[in-house]
Structure 1
Amino acid sequence: MTLLGISYPPSTGLFSDVATSYMNQIVAFLATTGAPVLLANVYPYYSYTHNTQTIDLNYALLTSPGVVVRDGNLEYQNLFAAIMDALYSTLEKVGGAKVGVIVSESGWPSAGGIAATIENAGTYYSNLIRYSKNGTPKWPGYLETYLFAMFDENQKGPAESERNFGLFFPNKQPKYRQLTSFS
């Protein structure tokens, strides 16, 4: 998502100046060939940690009790949906209105950074699983989403938080009780 130069409000989404030249070509190729999707790594955690003064933690964790952002006739209760719709808006502007998106990675670290706790990560993952079934305000419906990562990675870095995205500890024990049921 660092390819987006503008993402707020979501309807104003645009690729960054650096990414525009090659991303426009990629989107045009996907749209012209009827290729099924664009893969996107979506991490509200990083958006939150870079903007803690303006982004509420509940909005980032998908737990806001009400609308946080209004963008025309669309309303957003969580940052994940806003980020995705900024991407959809960007795709529309460059001729990729029919290009689907799969979230190839999303997660929240359980340690090593701002708001990186087991409780917050478990909350994020649980809400993301539930939320993905509904899509976004702009693209309602099922949104195929993959959780990152299966296990903590002790060789990753340099930030400590990057070592702590796993759903399981290195000993294969689950971190999050609330993820044992996906109903």
Structure 2
Amino acid sequence: MTGAFGLNYGTQANDLPTPDKALNPLVHYVWRLRIFAPDHAVLDYLNRSYPTQGYTFAVAMGTLNEDVQKIADDQNYANTWVQNNIVPWTNTIFTHIVLGNEVIPGPIGNFVVQAMINMEKAIKECTTQNIQVTTTVAMNVLGVSYPPSAGVFTDDAMEVMRGVVNFLQNRPQYKLLVNVYPYFAYADNPAEVRLDYALFNTTDIVVQDGDLQYSNLFYSMVDAMIWAVEKAGGPHVQISVSETGWPSAGNGDITTVEHARIYVNNLIATLMKSGTPKRPQYPMKTYIFAMYNEDLKPEGVERNFGIYQPDLSEVYHVDWPKWNETVNLGNIVD
């Protein structure tokens, strides 16, 4: 399971440390980063750090949502995007290029499949790296999510998601990225969703779905997405979780430092054991949201998902599974 966990490196703040100070505390615990759009300062640091210090981070890099249509409409734009944002950083490992964040369903979402096709072609033409092309969806693409086996896409999302699933189905290494937040499911319906079920804090079988048993909401949500993907024509498409976390403030006694600490540490302990009940053989690669609290986000919970404060102090302690190996640049399987 080494390398199964990553962090979302958000930068919507005016007081964040420079990339070297931001990333140095994590080098022995996390080697996967997700950044939401090309950030050349971060990439410059990563590119320098490997040859001089013997470690690196593998990067899942997003495009700006507003670039998705441009990439879909113009192969030359896609090629230029790769030339500008991938090619110069020869010591940096890129695991994914992510076309849009939570744009399906919606006007931008209609361009995602063609953007993925053009981006894949650009990668093959402009670089020798083996980079997955995908997109990120939220749970709102599901019209039904309970019980998990009933998972199905909404009518609004179905057509685009069939295209996305077909693209991924024909490329076995590629994965669909999904943002999974039991916090929001609980906060929206605390009368019916158990807090301990949302926090991975019970061993009770809370949901029985045929032969499958669920003692945490996270696995239930992921499996609902897997069922929906299968019904859309993707029986072999795998899923990685691109965001999950629990805010430490912003919504009364639901969002406490202790709840955030419990959620993230229980998440790690659970995922170290196996995959979901539906696919126990596939450990779930998961990016925790987020590295830092970000003060330029909307007030409330959105500012309070960070594990660290911008001054590098911990909001709460995470028991990362430690690794001490130098990452082999030529042998990363995602």
Task: Tell whether the 8 Å contact from 2:249 to 2:256 is kept in structure 1 after alignment.
Answer: yes
For the pair 1:172 / 2:321, whether they are aligned, the reply is no
Q: 1:33, CA displacement in angstroms?
A: 3.5
Match for 1:16 among 131, 154, 159?
Answer: 154
Q: 1:32, CA displacement in angstroms?
A: 2.3
Give the Cα–Cα distance (whole angstroms) in 1 for the partners of residues 154 and 297 of structure 2.
Answer: 27
Amino acid paired to 2:295? N
Give the Cα–Cα distance (whole angstroms) in 2 for the partners of residues 21 and 74 of structure 1.
Answer: 29
Matching residue of 1:146? 287
Give the Cα–Cα distance (whole angstroms) in 1 for the partners of residues 171 and 307 of structure 2.
Answer: 36
Unaligned runs of 5+ in 2: 1-138, 323-334
RMSD (CA atoms): 1.3
Matching residue of 2:70? none
Amino acid paired to 2:207? V
Unaligned runs of 5+ in 1: none
SS at match of 1:25: helix
The 5-angstrom pairing of residues 85-96 of structure 1 reads: 85-96=223-234
For the pair shown, the structure with the greater C-alpha radius of gyration is 2
Match for 1:160 among 296, 300, 303?
Answer: 300
The 5-angstrom pairing of residues 15-164 of structure 1 reads: 15-114=153-252, 115-133=254-272, 134-141=274-281, 142-157=283-298, 159-164=299-304
TM-score, with length taken from structure 2: 0.53
Give the share of equivalent positions with the same residue, in percent. 44
TM-score, with length taken from structure 1: 0.94
Amino acid paired to 2:311? N
Give the Cα–Cα distance (whole angstroms) in 2 for the partners of residues 33 and 56 of structure 1.
Answer: 38
Amino acid paired to 2:174? P
Q: Which moved more, 1:29-38 or 1:108-117?
A: 29-38
Show CA shifts across 1:99-119 (max 9, x none): 111101111000001511000
- How many residue pairs get aligned? The number is 181
Give the Cα–Cα distance (whole angstroms) in 2 for the partners of residues 135 and 78 of structure 1.
Answer: 12
Q: 1:47, CA displacement in angstroms?
A: 0.8
Give the Cα–Cα distance (whole angstroms) in 2 for the partners of residues 21 and 97 of structure 1.
Answer: 17
